[in-house]
Amino acid sequence: MLAYLNELGLVCALGNDKQQVAEALFNGDSSGLQAQAGWIPGRSLPVGAVRGELPGIPTGLQRHATRNNRLLLAAALQIEPALRDAISRFGGSRIAVVLGTSTSGIDESSQGIRHHHRHGELPPSFDYTQQELAAPATFLADWLGLSGPCHVISTACTSSGRALQSARRLLRLGLCDAVLCGGVDSLCQLTLNGFAALEAVSTERCNPFSANRHGINIGEGAALFLMTREPGRIALLGAGASSDAHHISAPAPDGSGARKAMLKALADARLEAGQIAYLNLHGTATQHNDSMESLAVQALFPEGVPCSSSKPLSGHTLGAAAALEAAFCWLCLSPYNAHGRLPPHRWDGQSDPTLPPLSLVSDANPTLPAQAPRYLMSNSFAFGGNNVSLILGEVHDESGVSR
């Protein structure tokens, strides 16, 4: 049984809808990463903030009023007609919600604690449930009146990749007929200061796979798919996960865990490595990640595969990253990419001689193959050696025509 990704809503530093994001993505526009002060004491650093006004939380749902949920709502409103149609056809009890996040409403809770330190009491707006990891899924279910399976997965930077896996599993088990799945994460001081304490944050635009890389830029965003069994043009064809458990924050240096996840995704999709037309790298621009990922990719694709990291464009959106970068692959295969372009890799061009060379996409690189079906892979790796690889692809009907 195939799991089709029939609708997509997204918002991130690249733009506030699919058209804006696609235009910036394929032009390699990194202007969404802007230096801001105030996140880390005494420092200004680039962050991938969503620009513009976000939608307000609907009346009667004020207990869900967090920036995380407003980002999620911004994505959901883009596909609301399809969501309402699915509800009318399947019923609210047959639609699941499965999301990934790492922040939830932590920023609002931090603000509440700060208010308590200053005034001796929590503000009237404080609601403990906002910081619970399940809060984004609960919000969507309450807003849409859904009573099907509803949960959030929080495995750091693989969270929303595992959410897509879990969503597909629910469909295959027959526990629902449609799943709202994806991820959301918002900028917050706690997160940025935590990564700064690990000395993992760059004060410049991140520079994946460069000899001059200095760490990550944090971003925010939301990507929400409507996944069903109903045939469509693009499907989640393969998913692979592994856990090398090498270290609490560092990946296995030989890339074995990452490679295992990619191999499992290929086996799940019944594809060979040579059939992958593009690889969205995890590409965080940290020393350890780029080293192990380049080893894993070179081992699996010895002849090379067009690849790039989109994090110099969007920032690292943490729990939302896997879904957001799956959304970038979805855009590559969609009508929003009429010329079959690939997201270029933005960096200084200074290769690290200690890393195996990769076939990084430049503005002059070839486009996607013209002949369908085309298969794209996206990698996400997280603390604790938690690894996920996803494969999206076009699906042919019985006549051999791409849907």
Where do the domains of the chain lie, and which CATH numbers do they carry? 3-394 (3.40.47.10)
Alpha helices in 203-314, H assignment, sequence order: 256-269, 287-300, 311-314
Q: Is 271 exposed, middle or buried (0-12, 13-18, 19+ CB in 10 A)?
A: middle
Is residue 256 within 8 A of residue 232, CB to CB? The reply is no
- CB neighbours of residue 364 within 10 Å: 6
The tens-digit pLDDT sequence of the chain (403 residues) is 899 999 999 999 999 999 999 999 999 999 999 999 999 998 999 999 999 999 999 999 999 999 999 999 999 999 999 999 999 999 999 999 999 999 998 888 888 888 888 998 888 888 888 889 999 999 999 999 999 999 999 999 999 999 999 999 999 999 999 999 999 999 999 899 999 988 899 999 999 999 999 999 999 999 999 999 999 999 999 999 999 888 877 888 999 999 999 999 999 999 999 999 999 999 999 999 999 999 999 999 999 999 999 999 999 999 999 999 999 999 999 999 999 999 999 999 999 999 999 999 998 777 898 888 999 999 999 988 899 999 999 996 543 334 4
Q: Return the closest-CA partner of residue 163 out of 146, 147, 150.
A: 150
| pLDDT computed for residue 399 by the predictor | 35
The residues annotated as belonging to the active site are: 157, 282, 316
* Beta-ladder partners of 223: 10, 183
| pTM of the predicted model over 0.85 | yes
Of 26, 350, 39, which is closest to residue 214 (Cα–Cα)? 350
Q: How far apart are CA 191 and CA 28, in angstroms?
A: 26
